[in-house]
């Protein structure tokens, strides 16, 4: 990030020549510049008014990392006597509203549609993610011996940043994994490509192809299957402690922040199930219209859960109906 973002724009300026307008101009340029993917050049700058909320959130997060680097660098320079100006590092402030990502997940209908466009080896990997909520690396490191080890589920190996854990499975998930291990030795990997080679990063490209083929949200990554797994458990009423342990989180804080408000459909379901009758006349009217209300509600949901009950969508519908 220093080489790509900081040095080309600010690297030739002496510390004592830096001013607030330099930072203001620089951070705005970063916010208006699309991210660079691989060896492809970054696209042209975009006015902030044309950048969608999720893209802007990600760019703000990048800016905040750069601000942290700059602040630490300037503070160290001041502490080491390279400059007498401590105003620069003290005045740098991070941008707000960057820690609320739009968590993309799939409905069960969308999961089935996605699976139809996956070739057999990718379909197995996708099913593994949907049954366990495991990260892709955790699945790719999983071996035959990890299935049914010490319980009705799969053992997840520890990594540098994550502790080992056991993920319990539903019956259909257990049947799926037992079918995978049939006639294989204990040290073989569970998920490999159709020619037997390791997946590496190759599954990501195939996954994106399947997403585009079914016209699912383009920002859905393979990690979105982990979000899908968690959101389904939360939607079904699973305690947050259970979800946290299945995902390998130390506590429920992350689960509550990320999945406690996972989608409008969950809030809708909770309100419809738990609201106590207020007017018996209206309740009887609703019971008489139960089938028509169900059809209307189904038509509102549509096939893409990500666009349901968005404020922008509601406004556009209201404007269209006038």
CB 120 within 8 A of CB 179: no
Last residue of some domain: 64, 91, 118? 91
Residue 253 sits in the same domain as residue 169: yes
Residue pLDDT, tens place only, 286-316: 999 989 888 887 777 654 555 555 544 333 3
pTM exceeds cut of 0.75 = no
Is 99 a domain residue? Answer: no
Is 101 a domain residue? Answer: no
Average pLDDT, the chain: 84
Residue 151 sits in the same domain as residue 251: yes
Is it the case that residue 322 has pLDDT exceeding 70? Answer: no
Is it the case that residue 75 has pLDDT exceeding 50? Answer: yes
Residue 254 sits in the same domain as residue 280: no
For 182-205, letters b (16+ CB in 10 Å) and e give eeeeeeebbbebeeeeebeeebee
Residue 85 sits in the same domain as residue 129: no
Q: Which domain holds residue 151?
A: 108-259
For residue 277, give every residue at least 6 positions away whose Cβ sits within 8 Å of its Cβ, in sequence order, or none. Answer: 283
Residue 129 sits in the same domain as residue 229: yes
Which alpha helices (DSSP H) does 105-170 contain, by range?
A: 108-116, 120-132, 136-140
Percent of the chain whose pLDDT exceeds 90: 42
Residue 23 sits in the same domain as residue 138: no
Is 72 a domain residue? Answer: yes
Is 98 a domain residue? Answer: no
Give the span between the Cα atoms of 63 and 69, in whole angstroms: 10
Count how many domains the chain has: 3
Confidence band, pLDDT 50/70/90 cuts, at residue 57: confident
Residue pLDDT, tens place only, 264-286: 666 677 778 788 888 899 989 99
Confidence band, pLDDT 50/70/90 cuts, at residue 137: very high
Is 83 a domain residue? Answer: yes
Residue bearing tokens 């192809």? 209
Mean pLDDT computed over 13-36: 87
Is 66 a domain residue? Answer: yes
Is it the case that residue 209 has pLDDT exceeding 90? Answer: yes
Which of the residue ranges 117-121, 219-223, 262-266, 273-277 would you say has the lowest mean pLDDT?
A: 262-266
**SS3 for 281?**
helix
CATH of the domain at 245: 1.10.443.10
Residue 37 sits in the same domain as residue 121: no
Number of C-alpha atoms within 13 angstroms, CB side, residue 49? Answer: 0
Last residue of some domain: 65, 91, 117? 91
CB 133 within 8 A of CB 246: yes
Give the rounded distance of the alpha carbon of 110 from its chain centre. 16
Considering only the C-alpha atoms of the chain, give the largest distance between any 2 of them, rounded to a whole number of Å: 80
pLDDT for position 125: 97
pLDDT for position 22: 87
How far CA 1 is from CA of 56, 70, 292, 315, in Å, comes to 18, 11, 56, 39
Is 183 a domain residue? Answer: yes
Most confident of 89-103, 149-163, 174-188, 223-237: 174-188
For residue 252, give every residue at least 6 positions away whose Cβ sits within 8 Å of its Cβ, in sequence order, or none. Answer: 240, 241, 243, 244
Last residue of some domain: 241, 259, 277? 259
- 252 or 189, which is more confident? 189
Is 96 a domain residue? Answer: no
């Amino acid at each position: 990030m220093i080489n790509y973002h900081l040095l080309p724009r600010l690297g030739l300026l002496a510390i004592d020549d830096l001013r607030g307008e330099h930072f203001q101009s620089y951070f705005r340029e970063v916010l208006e510049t699309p991210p660079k993917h691989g060896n492809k050049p970054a696209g042209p700058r975009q006015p902030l008014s044309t950048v969608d909320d999720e893209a802007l959130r990600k760019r703000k997060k990048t800016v905040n990392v750069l601000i942290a680097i700059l602040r630490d660098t300037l503070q160290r320079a001041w502490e080491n006597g390279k400059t007498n100006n401590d105003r620069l590092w003290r005045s740098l402030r991070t941008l707000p509203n960057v820690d609320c990502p739009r968590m993309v997940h799939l409905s069960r209908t969308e999961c089935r549609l996605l699976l139809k466009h996956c070739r057999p080896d990718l379909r197995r990997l996708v099913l593994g993610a949907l049954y366990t909520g495991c990260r892709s690396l955790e699945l790719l490191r999983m071996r035959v011996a990890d299935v049914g080890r010490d319980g009705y589920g799969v053992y997840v190996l520890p990594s540098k940043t994550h502790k080992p854990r056991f993920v319990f499975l539903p019956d259909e998930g257990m049947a799926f994994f037992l079918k995978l291990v049939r006639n294989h030795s204990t040290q073989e990997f569970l998920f490999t490509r159709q020619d037997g080679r390791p997946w590496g990063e190759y599954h990501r490209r195939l996954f994106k192809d399947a997403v585009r083929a079914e016209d699912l949200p383009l920002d859905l990554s393979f990690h979105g299957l982990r979000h899908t797994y968690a959101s389904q458990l939360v939607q079904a009423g699973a305690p947050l402690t259970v979800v946290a342990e299945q995902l390998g989180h130390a506590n429920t804080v992350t689960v509550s922040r990320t999945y406690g408000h996972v989608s409008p459909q969950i809030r809708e379901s909770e309100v419809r199930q738990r609201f106590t009758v207020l007017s018996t006349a209206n309740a009887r009217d609703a019971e008489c219209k139960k089938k028509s209300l169900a059809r209307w509600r189904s038509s509102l949901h549509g096939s893409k859960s990500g666009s349901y009950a968005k404020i922008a969508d509601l406004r556009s519908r209201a404007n269209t109906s006038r």
